[in-house]
Amino acid sequence: MRSLACAAVLLAAAALSAQVPRPFQIEETTIAQIQAAFRDRSLTCRSLVEQYLARIEANDKRGAALNAIVQINADALKAADDLDRRLRESGPVGPMHCVPVLVKDNYETVEMPTTAGSLSLKGMMTGKDAFVVKRLRDAGAVMIARSNMAEFAFSPVETVNSILPGYTRNPYDTTRVTAGSSGGSGAGIAANFALIGLASDTGDSIRGPAAHQALVGLRSTMGLVSRAGVVPLNLAADIAGAVTRTVADTAAVLQVIAGPDPADPITALGRDHVSPNYAASLRPDGLKGARLGVLHQAYDTPTLDSDIDAVFKGALGELRNLGAEVVDPVEVAGFDTLRGSQGACNQFKYDLNRYLAGLGDKAPMHSLDEIVKSRRFHPSIQARLESGLASDDTPGVSPGCRSRDEFREKLRVAVVSLMDSLQLDALVYPTWSNPPRLIGDLNTPGGDNNQLFSPSTGFPAITVPMGYTRGNSLPAGLQFFGRAWSESRLLELAFAYEQATHHRRPPVLR
């Protein structure tokens, strides 16, 4: 009798266990997975957002102490409850229903201050969302927190500023940098603080943090995505975008944020180049028959790290095994002469002053001159601010700016000529030439080799994890660089590589 009673208890416990769903696991989850959970009603938006907020609470200022978050959105749970109500009444709001987003601190949002990492802009409430934020919010996303950044997006190497004490730390090794300037988004997404981290890339700042933290980062073609509502660094090269953990999530984000915006006239160029379905490009066999050129001019310097070089050569072998024809080397004709012809154009003051003027009394500072006089900034950027203040460059007018623009046009022609002559689908190279530096180290090579080709041409580039250096501990990225408006093809190549190799692994937070 006792054994029968025990058996009955066990059966009852098993039945109860079968009725109680396991908690949704947020670590390494994807947009598609959470949307499926919402559809089958096994997940609520509130429970999802609560899990992410708890993870931030446990690991940002405590635990691993990543220091990736500037501010939690006090309205995040209210937004989650509203999305749950709308799901019950009429179904998902859109393709980003309750997708948690980290918002880089240079993107405007209606509910959180925008400071670009600077005390000089502390408390700045513009009363509106940046175009990208609005697109994501309208599609159902939740802006759960502000992510940290290099002040005014100056540094491509590290993430430190005056608005938040201390450095943002790399979750794979918290003694290391995150790269910049979108290091907070990079560290936060790598550590599973959200699904999407908004980022901006003037020379490196989407692809650098992605490479340093085993993420996917797409710098899209100039004109495909609006920069309206993003504090500018250099509108001749600024790109708005995101870092994610998968190529599929990057494609999903691009689908929502790409498109024309009257507030950013450059997007008129991209009006007819937005794919109706970027996800359709995500084919596991996308590398079969692809022709890829190894662009040594983008990375092969005397300071190239031997570990990075070895991992990259391994990646080239993987690309060949996946059916790609790798042409090694390829070369942009006359590159050294061409590079020496570019003029200097410092338009930071011009762009920032116009941005601040557009905000009127909503901005605590009204010019770069006021910012410099305020002394409310991190000492590490003083020289950059003063250099910007001393410049009177006007885009399209100043001789240096016209010379720069002429160089860029010639570089575009030279890159397309190279790719056409060899019938290349993309050019490939390591995203960074060196592993993440130790925090505070300004002596060893930084390794940023992203400032030239994609920013100067305006052509797109995407980075995906290609492996690890330093005893299989520090992430490294593989970059695909393509022609203008070739996002679909780059996503296809990157997806095929990602799905075959699965190099990304989450960091161990401790």
Nearest CA to 107 out of 187, 56, 216, 182 is that of: 182
Which has the closest alpha carbon to 264: 227, 312, 306? 227
* Residue 147 annotated as catalytic: no
Count Cβ neighbours within 10 Å for each residue of 274-287 and write b for 16 or more, e otherwise: bbeebbebbeeebb
Which residue among 120, 162, 181, 454 is the active-site one?
Answer: 181
- The beta strand positions in 282-324, using DSSP E, are 291-295
Assess whether 205 carries a catalytic annotation.
yes
The number of residues making up the chain comes to 510
Residue 244: its H or E element: strand 239-244
Q: How many CB atoms lie within 10 A of CB 119?
A: 19
Q: In what order do the strands lie in the sheet with 69-72?
A: 69-72, 142-147, 100-104, 196-201, 239-244, 216-219, 461-469, 474-481, 426-430, 291-295, 325-330
Distances (CA, A) of 414 to 294, 332, 428, 489: 16, 6, 16, 20
- Can you tell me whether residue 447 is helix, strand or coil? coil
Asked whether the beta carbons of 51 and 37 are under 8 A apart, the reply is no
Active site residue 373: no
Identify the burial level of 30 via C-beta atoms within 10 angstroms of its C-beta, where 0-12 means exposed, 13-18 middle and 19 or more buried.
middle
Collect all residues with Cβ–Cβ distance below 8 Å to 488 and sequence separation of at least 6.
Answer: 275, 278, 280, 281
Contact 147, 198 (CB under 8 A): yes
User: How many of the other CB atoms lie within 10 Å of CB of 380?
Assistant: 16
The catalytic position among 118, 147, 205, 226 is 205
- R_g of the chain computed on alpha carbons: 23
Q: Of 104, 147, 162, 398, which is the active-site residue?
A: 104
Rounded Cα gap, residues 2 and 6, in angstroms: 6
The DSSP annotation for 448-489 comes to B--SSHHHHH---EEEEEEEEETTTTEEEEEEEE-STT-HHH
Over the range 309-334, which residues count as b (16 or more CB within 10 Å of their CB) and which as e?
eebbeebbebbeebebbbeeebebee
Pairing of strands 239-244, 291-295: unpaired
- Residue whose token pair is 């749970």: 77
CB 487 within 8 A of CB 498: no
Q: What are phi and psi of 146, to 5 degrees?
A: -90, 135
Cα 31 from Cα 48, distance rounded (Å): 12
Active site residues: 104, 181, 205
